[in-house]
Amino acid sequence: MFVTRPCPFSIHCEEMHLTKSSSISVGLRIWILYTGFLSQSSGSPNHFHLLALKKACNPPAMGFDFQAIPIIDISPLMDKCGDPMMIEDQGVLQVVRELNEACKVAGFFYVKGHGIPESLIQEVKDVAREFFDLPYEEKVKIKLSPETGYRGYQKIQENITLGKPDMHEAIDCYRPMDSGEYGSLGKTMEGQNLWPENPTKFKSMMEEYIGLLKDLARKIMQGIALALGGLPETFEGERAGDSFWVMRIIGYPGLSGTMQHNDVGCEAHTDYGLLTFVNQDDDINALQVKNPAGEWISAPPVPGTFVCNIGDMLKVWSNGLYESTLHRVVNNSPKYRVSVAFFYEPNFDTSAEPLECCKEKTAGVVRCQRVVYGEHLVSKVKTNFAI
Ligand SMILES: N=C(N)NCCCC[C@H](N)C(=O)O
Ligand SMILES: O=C(O)CCC(=O)C(=O)O
Ligand SMILES: [Fe+2]
């Protein structure tokens, strides 16, 4: 029994969803086989484990409509990353299996056990709030424009999603790009980041945060590479070894006066690259994720976690096995909401196309077309600021 959904995004992709019962039983059977295999084969060469891992992660996507976002404790993966024996570690295998399920079913998951200090996670939001509290004249000193490579501050309703102005203000940052670095492809994004003078520690704190988030993302991408049936290094080197990362420091005004409902903080969209990490304010429930049935499912703040989601390029590399899920932000609380979104993206000039190991899982059917990340990004950025 197949349900085929047309792809709502610019990247063409066909998705097939099996019914819940059939895919669960297949998945379970393979997993039991696999764990049995592992216990008999300790000490055997790595490639046997890789083969077994491929099988474990092979069952097709389950088509049931998720109602909540799973939480994954990634600490075993953090501990063992870089260790040549990592794929023989039971803890790592469990994380890989959970990543695979979450990426197929929801395209969204919470990560806990990530190792980033809670104090830094909180301070980053605190300095963001301090900045947004400043008068407009102060904030606009670092105004974003085409001339700044779309880096800097954008005021409320300046960002456009689905043709509508968003109820948020933000500072956008990208991996710095020197002029000429990526030839004509890179022209639009060339520039250095614009940092506010106040709060004074803003720049150093954000740069520390970016460094840690890049390392974290790289490790999770190793887990995802294994989940897809590839080698841990699949997303290193030419694919994403020099990530053209993005960071958006975002503020969403709360309800004002007697209003019952706020304008949408950020309209429905998918993220553009590999993997997004949202560091959102505690106590405000505003991020919503669309399930295959078209229902908006809440992704409330869970202390000690980041919300993670799949971007368009990972959808392509995975041949549509993983979804870049639609999501939006609606802040209907009376409080001003701060969130800091870090986007771990491919190299700017990378051309993404379905991985061989992912085509194998769809019986050779190519479901997603090749996309150059820089072209995808530039086309998005240009429409983000034009009604
Ligand atoms: N770098 C990322 N993913 N930014 C996501 C922002 C989504 C809103 C944007 N106006 C849009 O229409 O895509
Ligand atoms: O603020 C959030 O919770 C998410 C923001 C988001 O989806 C984005 O900037 O792409
Ligand atoms: Fe997003």
* SS3 assignment for 255-321: CCCCCCCCCCCEEEECCCCCEEEEEECCCCCCEEEECCCCCEEECCCCCCCEEEEECHHHHHHCCCC
Asked if residue 186 and residue 37 are part of one domain, the reply reads no
> What confidence score (pLDDT) does residue 328 get?
98
In a domain, 15, yes or no: no
In order along its 387 residues, the chain shows pLDDT tens digits of 333 343 333 344 433 333 333 333 333 333 333 332 223 333 334 555 555 555 555 544 455 699 999 999 999 999 999 999 999 999 999 999 999 999 999 999 999 999 999 999 999 999 999 999 999 999 999 999 999 999 999 999 999 999 999 999 999 999 999 999 999 999 999 999 999 999 999 999 999 999 999 999 999 999 999 999 999 999 999 999 999 999 999 999 999 887 888 899 999 999 999 999 999 999 999 999 999 999 999 999 999 999 999 999 999 999 999 999 999 999 999 999 999 999 999 999 999 999 999 999 999 999 999 999 999 999 999 999 876
Asked if residue 51 and residue 186 are part of one domain, the reply reads no
> What confidence score (pLDDT) does residue 73 get?
98
- The CA 230 to ligand 2 mean position distance, Å, reads 29
Q: Whose CA is nearest to atom 9 of ligand 1?
A: 161
Asked if residue 281 and residue 324 are part of one domain, the reply reads yes
In a domain, 120, yes or no: yes
Asked if residue 327 lies in contact with residue 289, where contact means CB atoms within 8 angstroms, the answer is yes
Residue 27 one-letter amino acid: G
Range of 43's domain?
A: 23-59
List all residues whose CB is within 6 A of at least one atom of ligand 2: 248, 250, 266, 271, 278, 280, 287, 327, 329, 339, 341
Tokens of 280: 């959102």
In a domain, 6, yes or no: no
Asked if residue 113 and residue 27 are part of one domain, the reply reads no
In a domain, 187, yes or no: yes
> What confidence score (pLDDT) does residue 259 get?
82
Query: What are the φ and ψ backbone dihedral angles of 384, each rounded to 5 degrees?
Result: -70, -15
Residue 157 one-letter amino acid: Q
Q: Provide the b/e sequence for 126-155 (b: ≥16 CB within 10 Å).
A: ebbbebbeeeeeebeebebeeebbbbbbbe
**Nearest-CA neighbor of 271 among 206, 226, 316?**
316
Asked if residue 148 and residue 31 are part of one domain, the reply reads no
Asked if residue 342 and residue 207 are part of one domain, the reply reads yes
Atom of ligand 2 nearest to the CA of 327: 7
Residue 16 one-letter amino acid: M
In a domain, 242, yes or no: yes
Q: What is the DSSP letter of 194?
A: -
Peptide bond into 70 cis (omega under 30): no
Asked if residue 327 and residue 283 are part of one domain, the reply reads yes
CATH of the domain at 336: 2.60.120.330
| Burial classification of residue 197, based on how many CB atoms lie within 10 Å of its CB (0-12 exposed, 13-18 middle, 19 or more buried) | exposed
In a domain, 14, yes or no: no
Asked if residue 153 lies in contact with residue 142, where contact means CB atoms within 8 angstroms, the answer is yes
Q: Which ligand is nearest to the CA of 252?
A: 2
> What confidence score (pLDDT) does residue 181 get?
97
Does this complex have an ipTM over 0.85? yes
In a domain, 2, yes or no: no
**Nearest-CA neighbor of 285 among 308, 271, 301, 261?**
301
Atom of ligand 1 nearest to the CA of 266: 8
Asked if residue 167 and residue 33 are part of one domain, the reply reads no
Tokens of 353: 């196309």
- The CA 159 to ligand 1 mean position distance, Å, reads 8
Among 59, 87, 113, identify where a domain stops: 59
Asked if residue 167 and residue 241 are part of one domain, the reply reads yes
* Residue 160 CB–ligand 1 contact under 6 Å: yes
What SS3 class is residue 16? strand
* Residue 55 CB–ligand 1 contact under 6 Å: no
In a domain, 326, yes or no: yes
* DSSP of 36-51: HHHHH-TT--HHHHHH
> What confidence score (pLDDT) does residue 53 get?
57
Asked if residue 76 and residue 53 are part of one domain, the reply reads no
Among 10, 43, 59, identify where a domain stops: 59
Asked if residue 32 and residue 102 are part of one domain, the reply reads no
Asked if residue 244 and residue 96 are part of one domain, the reply reads yes
In the block, tokens 């290193």 appear at 236
Could you give the number of structural domains in the chain? Answer: 2
> What confidence score (pLDDT) does residue 260 get?
82
**Nearest-CA neighbor of 190 among 224, 156, 155, 147?**
147
